[in-house]
Amino acid sequence: MPDIASIPPWKRETVAPPTARTILVVDDMGIVRDRVCDLLTRHGHNAIAAESGEAALAVAQSGQPIALAVLDILMPQARIEGIEAARALTYTYAIPCLMLTTIQEAGTRAAALFAGALGYLVKDVATGDAAILAGVRAALAGEPVPDPLANLPIDDTEIVSIHQRRRFLDDAYGQLTPRQREVAHLAAQGLTNEEIGAQLHIEVATVNSHIGEVLGRLRLTGRRDLRPRVIYDSLRDPPG
């Protein structure tokens, strides 16, 4: 089975040193955000809270130095959920990420790691704070993150399927025109067609046309699919 948890050399270079201690905590449940932020603050970190993926990206876009992001996966009310946000933070802003979730499924874990996450932590009362702190310390030090699901079996065909989908998206995205890529990039950040038109100084009808072409080429069923989950791997290639 492929080692999906290994960190490629280009990714190791983006890991913040232990002295960089501002940590972004992303969770749609206030009680969880408060608990994790309080835990990190009590152990010498500066914690910033965000309630959604789009809020996390807004923090990243502000330019504030972030050493690490700890993200929930399922945030149903958000436009951008955890894995999508982790991919954007990793590839666009070079912010290392850890996932913190109740989901204990091999496929979801694999998707998170393929999206660039350094590790996958489980919200577990039995391990709780100790597991979160161990994962954060390892990530900040650029060391392997303890993974409670490392031995969880995953079907090789599922891994192959994920790889094939990413290769298809890479190829299809490469066939878009520069303008279509601009539109896709802005749409992936959650901008409306009107906002995209204003930013690129083009008519909304032209934006609609580009969105339709992008959806067709990437074989997506609707605008909601034009999010980081499906195209951020192609927006920025990691150095080889």
Domain positions in the chain are 9-141, 156-235
pTM of the model: 0.62
Locate the DSSP E strands across the chain. 22-26, 46-50, 68-71, 97-101, 119-122
Average pLDDT over every residue of 26-44: 93
User: What pLDDT score does 66 carry?
Assistant: 93
Instruction: Tell me the C-alpha distance between 66 and 68, whole Å.
Output: 6
CATH topology assigned to domain 156-235: Arc Repressor Mutant, subunit A (1.10.10)
- Written as six digits, the tokens of 138 are 């390892």
Angle, CA of 92, 171 and 1, to the nearest 5°: 80
User: What pLDDT score does 7 carry?
Assistant: 40
Say which residues have a Cβ less than 8 Å from residue 51's Cβ, sequence separation at least 6: 26, 27, 28, 30, 33, 75, 78
- Report which DSSP code applies to 224: G
Q: Do 9-141 and 156-235 come out as alike in CATH topology?
A: no
Instruction: Tell me the C-alpha distance between 47 and 29, whole Å.
Output: 16
> Worst-scoring range by mean pLDDT, 32-46, 106-120, 216-230?
216-230
pLDDT at 179 over 60: yes
Instruction: Tell me the C-alpha distance between 109 and 120, whole Å.
Output: 7
Say which residues have a Cβ less than 8 Å from residue 33's Cβ, sequence separation at least 6: 25, 26, 27, 49, 50, 51
User: What pLDDT score does 160 carry?
Assistant: 64
Instruction: Tell me the C-alpha distance between 59 and 38, whole Å.
Output: 19
Helix (H) or strand (E) holding 124: none
| Domain 9-141, classified CATH 2.40.50.140, yes or no | no
pLDDT at 107 over 60: yes
Instruction: Tell me the C-alpha distance between 195 and 90, whole Å.
Output: 25
Helix (H) or strand (E) holding 111: helix 106-114
Angle, CA of 17, 52 and 18, to the nearest 5°: 10
For residues 240 and 226, which has the higher predicted lDDT (pLDDT)?
A: 226
